[in-house]
Structure 1
Amino acid sequence: MATKTETKSGSAGGNKAHRSAFSWGDSDSGMLLGAAAAGAALGLAANMGRKFFVQYASAASGDWSETLKTEHEMALAIFDKMQATDDSQTMSRSHLLAKLKYALSKHAIQEEMVIYPALRQATDTEEADHLNEDHGYVKTYLYELETMAGDDPQWLARVGDFRTMIEEHMREEEDEIFPRLRDRLSDEQNAKLATMMNKEGFKFA
């Protein structure tokens, strides 16, 4: 996103019984590493649990548009954190940019593989092509920010330009295009779209 070599104990008795499976030389460090690993596993499980719950709920309700709206809000929350940084926080900027790229890439896959084709099928070919073209600009902004130094004085300005562009794209989807598509479809068709979209999301995760 140094490896250590495990030190084998010369004792076959009591000392071995006190060693953790995560130990690399002493029981204290082993306990700490074990606790850290357990904590990370619990955190991952909790995150996956929340993700599964949100995506399962959207699939069950057929409310794919609400799921995409929530993902929009999550991306904007990352933008908030990025815009709160200063030029000395290059590591934070790099980390947040990676999070934003992941969130937007997963989101784009869901839309491009399921929602935009459904738009085309509903004869909204021009709108689907327009939204897909916007995704090309999203990739361009991500590339520019990844190749720009984290302490570049223009970094925040570019983030601001990116946010302005993507907010316009999001509002167009949320306020006009997606509601119109959703209203054209039956409950069964909307539920099928939600199921297909969430399947694509899980593939990306």
Structure 2
Amino acid sequence: MSAVTTNAPVQDVIELLRFQHEQIRDLFDLVGKSSGRAREEAFHRLVRLLAVHETAEEEIVHPVARRALPGGEEIVADRLAEERAAKEALTELYGMDTGEPEFLARLDRLRDDVLAHARAEEREEFSRLRDAFSDAQRRALAGAVKAAEASAPTRPHPGAQGAGANLLAGPPLAVMDRARDLIRDALK
């Protein structure tokens, strides 16, 4: 399965990230409305999108925001705390059977947290990044985000957070995750 995000029809980093937030919302809805094998497949797509999206934000977007925006340190610290909590919850969900009764209740809590996080990013980080960078710079950042996503892990790894940790641990985790994805898909 290819990364959902690399085929986004946008070139501006802010549009790209907002497009991905829409995909995330849609996948949460699809997981909640599906059952059986369809729910499991939709959930794996959601996990993959969240993992590569957050990794790219941690490697590219947050470091830029930290340096370029007034109050960037605090903004990014808040977003990273939210991302860490979401990764931990997603890791727990990933270990569950999607048919378990508790799965949907926990998924709903995660959905609320992830969508609140996305709104905070869009309001406090993305809108200010749009003002801080030219069209050409935002296009270059979109290319960097897509490149980071291409080599990002496809599962949440709460211990690997932030640009440095992602750059160090990300590639081996990505190789392992992508191998697991291939095996899982082959056994369907």
TM-score strictly above 0.5: yes
Aligned equivalents of 1:132 and 1:111: distance in 2?
10
How much does 1:112 deviate? 0.6
Match of 1:83 in 2: 32
Counterpart mapping for 1:182-197 below 5 A: 182-197=130-145
How much does 1:182 deviate? 1.7
Match of 1:201 in 2: 149
Match of 2:67 in 1: 121
Q: Does 1:163 align with 2:111?
A: yes
Query: Which segments of 5 or more consecutive residues in structure 1 lack a partner in the other structure?
Result: 1-43
Identity %: 28
How much does 1:129 deviate? 1.3
Match of 1:105 in 2: 51
The root-mean-square deviation of aligned C-alpha atoms, in Å, is: 2.3
Which amino acid is 2:16 matched to?
T
Instruction: Select the structure with the greater relative contact order (CA < 8 A; seq sep ≥ 6).
Output: 2
Q: Does 1:175 align with 2:123?
A: yes
Aligned equivalents of 2:137 and 2:58: distance in 1?
17
Q: Find the residue that maps to 1:95 and give its secondary structure.
A: helix
2:95 corresponds, among 133, 147, 154, to 147
Q: Find the residue that maps to 1:137 and give its secondary structure.
A: helix
Which amino acid is 1:116 matched to?
H
Match of 1:39 in 2: none
Q: 1:198 to 1:158 in 2, by over 3 A?
A: same
Aligned equivalents of 2:79 and 2:129: distance in 1?
14
Aligned equivalents of 1:52 and 1:96: distance in 2?
18
Counterpart mapping for 1:56-67 below 5 A: 57-58=10-11, 63-67=12-16
Q: Deviations over 1:136-195 (max 9, x none)?
A: 112112112122233322211111111100110111112332111220223343233222
Q: Find the residue that maps to 1:183 and give its secondary structure.
A: helix
Q: Find the residue that maps to 1:151 and give its secondary structure.
A: coil
Query: Which segments of 5 or more consecutive residues in structure 2 lack a partner in the other structure?
Result: 155-188
Q: Find the residue that maps to 2:100 and give its secondary structure.
A: coil
Aligned equivalents of 2:8 and 2:95: distance in 1?
36
Match of 2:85 in 1: 137
How much does 1:82 deviate? 1.2
Which amino acid is 1:107 matched to?
H
How much does 1:116 deviate? 0.1
Q: Find the residue that maps to 2:101 and give its secondary structure.
A: coil
* Number of equivalences: 150
Aligned equivalents of 1:53 and 1:141: distance in 2?
26
